A and B are shown apart, each in its own frame.
Chain A
């Protein structure tokens, strides 16, 4: 399994401790890596947690691509290393070009903080490799810009390559094709808007996020 996990922290990131709290009970050791560093160190996986990297100035996720650590993340991803972007982390991965498309403002024009019912659309990605297609999950969302969009050709490619990882059962934000999470062509880079770390303990109302982290970390059983 992935023993050492780099959790990338930008100025404005605010979910890094929640992520650590969720995955350390699964046996992972979290290494906090600040955005200004240029190397990830010896890690088995990378997580870009949620928040407001660089204040979301200009556009959500736009400035993070210029943080030195993102070159190391891109190299790690190109070598096949598992990379997970949650919420703002998903926005950063699209702005950086590691994932296709973009996240525009929610269709209802409101910030949404609510539980979302999800279905696993593909188990080809590192986030869902231990799950089954059509598995149902209850995981909260917390965003204003979570409405996935891309052009028609990109969507056709996403479908052809089986890159839709998670779909909303009841689309809350207008996302194209009900997309809640996608992966790159190889399946090792995944972004999703829902927060699995906020569904990782019975006290939080759902433990469905644990199954995703177990897949991502390749935890046995």
Chain B
């Protein structure tokens, strides 16, 4: 689709703002609607837009599938390690109150890190699913 100039220019202008909005939704999940799941989907849709306009090969040179596969598990491991950190500091599994000097700060820290883990996993999964589908249709078309 690179011959469609309007699409190419506008998407190059919009994609940074899509990523910025995804980061905003991720980290302001405490104060408004949002959180990890929504932010992950929005971030992945920025990558999907890039893939639709510029093709699968360029998108995979930006984000190789191996990196995406590592990110899948990284998000879940980040989440679980917050739980283990709670145990190591003397509390129960996934008890955030012991993570910082003050229980409320511990809760904030815990919520921030686990939402980040959720966002990373959701982003990676949606990107990987999209790459699989698009890659398959290119294989069958030949």
A binds B: no
Q: Which of A's residues lie within 8 Å of B, judged by CB? A: none
Q: Which of B's residues lie within 8 Å of A, judged by CB? A: none
